[in-house]
Amino acid sequence: MFVVIADQIGSRSDRDRVADLLDRLHRRLGAHLALPAERTAGDELQALTADATTAVAVVLECLRDGHFRAGLGIGAISGTLPGSIREASGPAFIAGRRAVQRAARTSIHFAASGTGATEQAAADVDALIALLLAGRARWSAQSWELYDLLEQGLTQAAAAERLGITPQAVSKRARAAALAIDADARRAIGNVLASADAEPSPVG
């Protein structure tokens, strides 16, 4: 399982952004979460999923606007799924807490942590996410606009129609932002996570 723990950066001098982030996570990824993401303490939220691709998407959504740090925990959970993520526990949550604490000391505001054999995979994910974020840091507002449309399942032709520009302009915008490479990188990170989660992990 994968636990994402995110907390707002500089929340004492900024408005509360947790509710907005929870709304985006539920709208975009709610169907793939094992339990609904929730605010768990003040400016913190937690999300739980069994799907590696969803875990990557949750992390990237948390990091998107630079207002949150995020920790990703890889491991098992204790017992059966409870009714609320607030009631869940286990090695994955311990790893997630360790990760978000370490994320506070990183320049990318992210860290992953595993249990036992998954620690190397977590270190690999740290490096891969850093590379992905470096590419995204160069995206323009137009790049993000196109990315969002394509993530909704639109084709480039349909996105061009929605944006009121030519398909050639959309193709140029996609190449400039290396959106295809970004998608491939997200799949690769998901594969690393899925392989790590397949490793046997003791449940406390």
| CATH classification of the domain holding 157 | 3.30.70
Of residues 133 and 203, the one with the higher pLDDT is: 133
Residue 81 falls within a domain, yes or no? yes
Residue 202 falls within a domain, yes or no? no
- For strand 110-113 and strand 68-74, is the pairing parallel, antiparallel, or unpaired? parallel
- Residues with Cβ within 8 Å of residue 84, at least 6 apart in sequence: 35, 36, 38
Residue 204 falls within a domain, yes or no? no
Cα radius of gyration rounded to whole Å, the chain: 17
Domain total of the chain: 1
N-to-C CA span, the chain: 14
Residue 27 falls within a domain, yes or no? yes
DSSP letter at 51 equals: -
Predicted structure pTM score: 0.91
What residues make up the domain containing 45? 2-197
Residue 36 falls within a domain, yes or no? yes
Strand order in the sheet with 68-74: 35-41, 44-49, 2-8, 68-74, 110-113
How crowded is residue 154: how many other Cβ atoms within 10 Å of its Cβ? 17
Tell me the pLDDT tens digit for each residue of 78-97: 999 999 999 999 999 999 99
